């Protein structure tokens, strides 16, 4: 942490800052420049110094953190080696590109199984489907709940694809652990810290969606809540952020992919469906995400989107999903990824 | 809901939209303009029409919702009458202005009681303090938990001020109900729908903070989750939104106050402490919030901010709190509010 | 334009709105729904109705525009046909993908010619370089001005590549027209309407950058200022928008590409250099832009970025530019574009 | 400037950074911490070091600027003394609060003179009115131009109020200087650097509006373009920034007032009309701005808003303007400002 003093700060003010740094258990290094003096606080006591509130001490202009606040998720922590998540022999990350596909929400056995067939036929390694749906309106369909989980379990047995499904309420974790191979945390729950901690304790792989206005650093801090419990298998998911642009639901932030890859060893997945909100935009955004180096794409498809209960307009039509998947895979391969495609 | 057709949409396309509206249970009114045709879907089946995904139907340009999606929180629902929340004879809303003050987090009996004395001396009607603290970093202090709740209960008995405290985890609701007169929902939990539903069921008054990037409409939809369970006592709280400006932690959106007052009967409270992040900015922002017509202000004060465990730089110094309170109250009175000030 | 009345609006209020619409020269169509009444204003007098300020008339809830405000730039205006811009037989748009490359700023004859050689060797069709540089700080280098334009003219003669260069001040237009084959309008000037009008009158092709916080619609309205003067050759350029994310300079909004292509016939170009701000991010973002369907990419390269006067960190190293160009072209080709690559 | 090295950066990498700093003419101070090494670049050569592109040098994690980039506008430059702008004996800033009022745009002699009478009757010291109007659409009314300036001159002679009017095009500066006592720079021109420079050279006081997505620092850098030409009389104007919120046109950022007052000696003015977009929101936002410590408010009023050519819905009705002004003045006085009210 560097404490930048105001121009003309007095010796007494400088000394008072030094004293407070040392009282907090760190060492102070004073650097006197032509205009301003900068005091470095060095030691393992970064957070104590932070809590000391030096921002408002007399003569202080501002305080600059030096150390990154995340540790276990940093690329340095694994000395530059990237994490590959492996489930039933199917991989994602560390150079391997995978699709995660399926319907937005589980509606019925028939819908789920038709979608499962279409995804399996397209070589998709991971199957997704929501039993609990966070909805802006209390008057909208909220998901089938436990019955949805039961159908997902049937589908898993039928198609052999590991299941990605969302957990919204910490009280449902045991039910979700019955079927989920990957527990999804929605954007609105990215900073639901107790939920993250419980998922960390469960040891089950997680897919953590970036909050609508979460910074890259906050996303990594959220993953840290899972990692600190000993659970290393976290995929980070960019799904669109909130900006001033009214022309689409969210702004898909693909620059986050290479930036995250410089900061963390965790795999980066992109959800193009929710930002776009319409299926004709999902393919170009999926190709772009693959080209930018994403480790995976989580995408919605439905056998009959016109009659979908939820988010039909953004679902890839099931009968066209094979073509979608092969185009996306082709771009991922071109930028050097190894493809995880399961032959039927 | 209005469906705007593309220029040059064919009669077949128009008829297909009409058919789908009627199939969803609504009536379709077709308006043919010089350039475009607009089809109104009228009836009680707005949401079914919405789910029908007409945005992507052939010939459709875009779809415009007409009805507001919130009902119970709308000003119309109470025919223009404003809600006053009353606890132990102390009021907030409906023309009455109240301060809610106290430390960010409960640190110790000594700290809490000193703050309680200072707040009581300033005539503050409601006392705040956090036992559970949502922290960006898992390595930061997370609150005293149950012990914090116990201390709040002691303080309540001592000072007679109703208690406002945060609930983060639905599993803690019974503990929190033991002491909380108003349950606070933090910005990061604004869309934690199951938490909102349980608070609704508890019947206890709630203070619902606006999410960092939540729209006014989403805030009202979140309150709807509480109201629909039969709990009418919800205060909405503006606490700063996320923008591009790096010069402060959040941008306090005071325009939200009069805009919300046109839309909802619920009282509007402002939290100036978290947006500003530094106490020298808290007074001007509090005065501004009162001048803009807020029904209350929730503010942090600490007897000894330099040694606060958390967010010390933004706490009003306890010994100066009386002066702060009287300035804020004076502005609220000037714009026509009745003041809730408790004489010691 | 649709005027949505409040629930319970009276017949007098409805009639008053109808009267004002008709007074403004449009026809009013009244649609009475179960809850609200909607009044459509139909006719060629949309803007007069708009100026009538019906938003605040008694009983009106809100007003919804129906017609898009841009005309000449809309895809409908050219009945779905896309514009190809052609200069000296080199094309961009309408299915043809082109690179525009060169240094951020013209520094010297030597620098410019080295960069010209490297770009020509990479098959680049269009050469870019700034003589006038808009700089946030008045204390930064502001470009070589007229001397820079003179050097660009020499380079054009030497390398035969059409020149893209920025015009900042309407007083410099004659000087810039001496050398520019494409006049660039920077993001900060996107709504400098008199500049746009003069460029429109010059008839010279333009590259119009999206403002830092301009919506898609505002970008199209800005292009309309050029088009309305009879100049059809406008390329729209996405270069990153301002968001809350502090991790990079701007958030590159690639979703704007397919969305713009649904709205306008004009070619869409992407500038990945300024958003990223560092060259290691420029390649992945360029590949992503090409994959998303961009018609061209405008990118900075420098023979010796470490000694660049301006924005060195984001310039592709000249000796590596050929490799960069071939990777980007390969992705553009994969998504179906015809490549404009000039053999040396 | 501080260069923060990566964990594990080698001695060679550290030395290479030191060499580059010294080559750029600054001194390097190396601070070795437990985890990372920080190198301070000290000297008058901050910008050269900046241009050296150390962000991408081997072993460098990131670079932190220490010095603020603005000088003449900083509060330190005037040693804490605040600037009062005085025109014809009427003051704004440095403890004096003033209203600037009048119509959005000059429409006719009759309209302008009626508004002038209403403003004079309300004791308004400065009169505003636009002759040149920047409009998003080329199809909207663009202002009366030179004829508007002529009418403003007549009004100035009639009412004795100094005139605030906008300059959009540098070619019009001589015409505008004929009548403007304060030259307004619109938000879209905040970074039109040549315009700023010419205004600086003219020596005429300026009112510089913050760009829609301009940071506080960028606003100060823009003012620096005027100040560096020797013109010290610049008012900074907050007029709403662009955020994700669709509920209003712009988000009025009142926190910018006290924050700017800590950074600059220049007076801070607020424009509540454009953010709100509707007159019923203008009064609460004006009261809030005054309470937050603004030095002035620039507000739109119209004798007959229903028939205004432009922005009628946001204009205070002329017959109610006296009441508006007295309420706003009362709040400004309560927070300690001296009022500039001209008795008729």
Q: What is the pLDDT of residues C201-232, one digit of tens each?
A: 999 999 999 999 999 999 999 999 999 999 99
Distance, CA of C8 to CA of C14 (rounded, Å): 10
| Residue B122, token pair as written in the block | 């300033």
C344 part of a folded domain: no
Q: pLDDT tens-digit profile of D99-156?
A: 999 999 999 999 999 999 999 999 999 999 999 999 999 988 899 999 999 999 999 9
| C126 plus C261 within the same structural domain | yes
pLDDT class of D44 with cuts at 50, 70, 90: low
Q: How far is A284 from chain C (nearest CA, A)?
A: 5
| Number of domains into which chain D is organized | 2
Domain residues for the domain of A139 are 76-339
Residues of chain D contacting residue C308, judged by C-beta atoms under 8 Å apart:
51, 53
* Residues A40 and A179 reside in one and the same domain: no
In a domain, D70, yes or no: no
Question: Among residues 38-67 of chain A, which lie with CB inside 8 Å of chain D?
Answer: 38, 40, 42-44, 64, 66-67
Q: Which of D215, D244, D258 sits opposite B245 (nearest CB)?
A: D215
Chosen from D281, D292, D337 to mutate, greatest number of chain B CBs within 10 A: D292
A344, part of any domain? no
Q: What are phi and psi of B261, to 5 degrees?
A: -65, -20
> What torsion do the CA atoms of D225, D229, D230, D236 make, to the nearest 10 degrees?
-20
Burial class (CB in 10 A: 0-12, 13-18, 19+), C249: middle
Nearest to A273 by CA among A244, A226, A305, A319: A305
Q: What is the pTM of this model?
A: 0.95
pLDDT at C43 over 80: no
Residue A153 is assigned to a structural domain of this protein: yes
Q: What's the average model confidence in pLDDT over A172-178?
A: 98
Same domain, C285 and C171: yes
Residue C120 has what pLDDT?
97
Is residue B297 domain-resident? yes
Q: For A320-329, what is each residue's pLDDT tens digit? A: 999 999 999 9
Q: What is the pLDDT of residue C191?
A: 96
Asked whether the predicted pLDDT for residue A45 surpasses 80, the reply is no
Q: What is the DSSP string of C4-28?
A: EEPTT--HHHHHHHHHHHHHTT-EE
Do both D80 and D60 map to the same domain? no
Q: Supply the CATH number for residue B14's domain.
A: 3.30.70.1140
Average pLDDT for B314-331: 97
Average pLDDT estimate for D229-241: 97
**Would you call B221 and A137 a contact, using CB atoms and an 8 Å cutoff?**
yes
D181 neighbors D170 (Cβ within 8 angstroms): no
Please answer whether residues B270 and B239 qualify as being in contact, where contact means their C-beta atoms are separated by less than 8 angstroms.
yes
Res. A49 pLDDT band, cuts 50 70 90: low
Instruction: Judge whether B71 lies within some domain.
Output: no
**Which tens digit of pLDDT belongs to each residue from B298-316?**
999 999 998 888 888 899 9
Say whether pLDDT at C260 is over 80.
yes
Residue D274 lies in a domain: yes
Interface of A with D in 71-110 (CB under 8 A): 76
Q: Are residues C43 and C108 in the same domain?
A: no
Across chain D, mean pLDDT equals 93
Query: pLDDT (tens digit, 9 = 90+) per residue, B138-179?
Result: 998 899 999 999 999 999 999 999 999 999 999 999 999 999
Task: Kindly report the number of other CB atoms within 10 A of residue B79's CB atom.
Answer: 8
Domain stops at, among A64, A88, A114: A64
Question: Chain D within 8 Å of A259 (Cβ-Cβ)?
Answer: no
Per-residue b/e over A65-92, b at no fewer than 16 CB within 10 Å? Answer: ebbbbbebbbbbeeeeebbebebeebbb
**pLDDT per residue as tens digits for the range B255-306:** 999 999 999 999 999 999 999 889 999 999 999 999 999 999 999 999 999 8
**Min Cα separation D275/chain A (Å):** 14
pLDDT > 60? residue C46: no
Residues B19, B106, single domain; the answer is no
Of A41, A64, A87, the one marking the end of a domain is A64
d(CA A200, CA A76): 21
The CA-based angle D334-B267-B144, given to 5 degrees, is: 95
Instruction: Establish if D189 touches chain C: CB-CB under 8 angstroms.
Output: yes
So what's the pLDDT on residue B47? 58
Q: CA B58, CA A281: separation in Å to the nearest integer?
A: 16
At residue D51, the pLDDT reads 59
Instruction: Write down which chains contact chain D via at least 3 CB pairs under 8 A.
Output: A, B, C
Taking an 8 Å cut-off on Cβ atoms, the answer to whether D171 and C169 are in contact is no
Do B27 and B84 lie in one domain? The reply is no
The verdict on C157 and C234 lying in the same domain is yes
Residue D50 pLDDT level (bands cut at 50, 70, 90) = low
More confident residue, C149 or A49: C149
Q: Are residues B44 and B84 in the same domain?
A: no
Give yes or no: residues D239 and D103 share one domain: yes
Based on the fold, state whether residues A113 and A243 are members of the same structural domain.
yes
The predicted complex's ipTM stands at 0.95
Mean pLDDT of chain C: 93
Contact A308 B188 (CB under 8 A): no
Could you identify the residue written with the tokens 């992040």? B277
Q: What is the mean pLDDT of residues A180-197?
A: 97
| Chain C residue with the nearest C-alpha to that of B66 | C4
Q: How far apart are CA B212 and CA B190, in angstroms?
A: 9
Put simply, the answer to whether C29 touches B34 (Cβ < 8 Å) is no
Q: What is the pLDDT of residue A310?
A: 83
- CB contact under 8 Å between A213 and B213, yes or no, is yes
Closest CA to A219 of B337, C247, C67: C247
Q: How far is CA C145 from CA A43, A173, C149, D274, in A?
A: 50, 65, 7, 37
Residue B220 lies in a domain: yes
Asked if residue A219 and residue A108 are part of one domain, the reply reads yes
* Boundary residue ending a domain (C13, C41, C64): C64
pLDDT in tens, A204-243: 999 999 999 999 999 999 999 999 999 999 999 999 999 9
> Which CATH number belongs to the domain containing residue D183 in this structure?
3.20.20.70
């Amino acid at each position: 942490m560097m404490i930048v003093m105001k121009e003309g700060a007095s010796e007494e003010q400088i000394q008072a800052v030094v004293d407070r740094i040392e009282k907090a258990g760190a060492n102070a290094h004073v650097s006197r420049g032509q205009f301003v003096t900068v005091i470095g606080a060095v030691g393992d006591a970064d957070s104590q110094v932070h809590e000391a509130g030096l921002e408002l001490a007399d003569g202080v202009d501002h305080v600059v953190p030096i150390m990154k606040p995340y540790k276990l998720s940093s690329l340095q922590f694994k000395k530059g080696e990237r994490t590959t998540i492996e489930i039933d022999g199917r991989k994602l990350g560390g150079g391997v590109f995978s699709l995660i596909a399926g319907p937005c929400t589980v509606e019925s056995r028939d819908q789920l199984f038709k979608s499962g067939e279409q995804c399996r036929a397209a070589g998709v390694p991971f199957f997704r489907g929501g039993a609990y749906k966070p909805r802006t309106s209390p008057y909208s369909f909220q998901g089938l709940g436990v019955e949805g989980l039961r159908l997902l379990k049937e589908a898993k047995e039928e198609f052999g694809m590991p299941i990605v499904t969302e957990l919204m309420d910490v009280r449902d974790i045991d039910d979700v652990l019955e079927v989920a191979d990957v527990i999804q945390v929605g954007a609105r729950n990215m900073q639901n810290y107790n939920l993250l901690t419980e998922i960390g304790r469960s040891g089950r792989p997680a897919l953590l969606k970036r909050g609508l206005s979460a910074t890259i650093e906050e996303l990594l801090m959220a993953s840290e809540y899972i990692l600190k419990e000993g659970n290393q298998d976290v995929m980070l998911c960019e799904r669109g952020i909130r900006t001033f642009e009214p022309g689409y639901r969210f702004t898909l932030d693909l620059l986050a992919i290479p930036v995250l890859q410089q900061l963390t060893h965790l795999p980066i997945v992109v959800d193009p469906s929710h930002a776009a909100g319409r299926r004709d935009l999902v393919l170009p955004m999926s190709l772009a995400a693959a080209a930018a180096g994403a480790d995976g794409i989580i995408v919605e498809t439905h056998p009959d989107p016109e009659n979908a209960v939820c988010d039909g307009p953004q679902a890839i039509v099931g009968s066209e999903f094979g073509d979608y998947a092969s185009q996306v895979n082709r771009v991922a391969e071109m930028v050097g990824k190894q493809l995880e495609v399961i032959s039927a």
